[in-house]
């Protein structure tokens, strides 16, 4: 490979100058791996007999009347 695209002395310059902003809101929590998330959904839906999605959604409200 003849040469490089840009000098190595400038590597990471922009990243080092960018201020670090802490995560807030929805992104502040660490997400579970998909296998753990699907296991929790399965337990909520099949084992407990409840609704696996969001608690305040229309589907959750409809599922209350099916029992």
Asked, for residue 7, whether it belongs to a domain, the answer is: no
pTM greater than the 0.75 cutoff: no
Q: Mean pLDDT for each consecutive 10-residue tract of the chain (67 residues)? A: 70 88 87 93 83 79 73
Asked, for residue 15, whether it belongs to a domain, the answer is: no
Domain count, the chain: 1
Asked, for residue 10, whether it belongs to a domain, the answer is: no
Asked, for residue 50, whether it belongs to a domain, the answer is: yes
Distances 64 to 1, 14, 17, 40 between C-alpha atoms, Å: 65, 53, 53, 19
pLDDT reported for residue 35 = 96
pLDDT reported for residue 3 = 63
Asked, for residue 5, whether it belongs to a domain, the answer is: no
Three-state DSSP class for residue 8: helix
Asked, for residue 42, whether it belongs to a domain, the answer is: yes
Asked, for residue 9, whether it belongs to a domain, the answer is: no
């Amino acid at each position: 490979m003849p040469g490089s695209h840009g000098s190595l002395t400038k590597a990471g310059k922009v990243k080092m100058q960018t201020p670090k902003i802490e995560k807030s809101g929805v992104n502040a929590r660490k997400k579970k791996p998909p296998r753990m998330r699907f296991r929790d959904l399965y337990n909520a839906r099949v084992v407990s007999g409840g609704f696996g999605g969001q608690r305040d959604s229309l589907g959750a409200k409809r599922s209350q009347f099916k029992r």
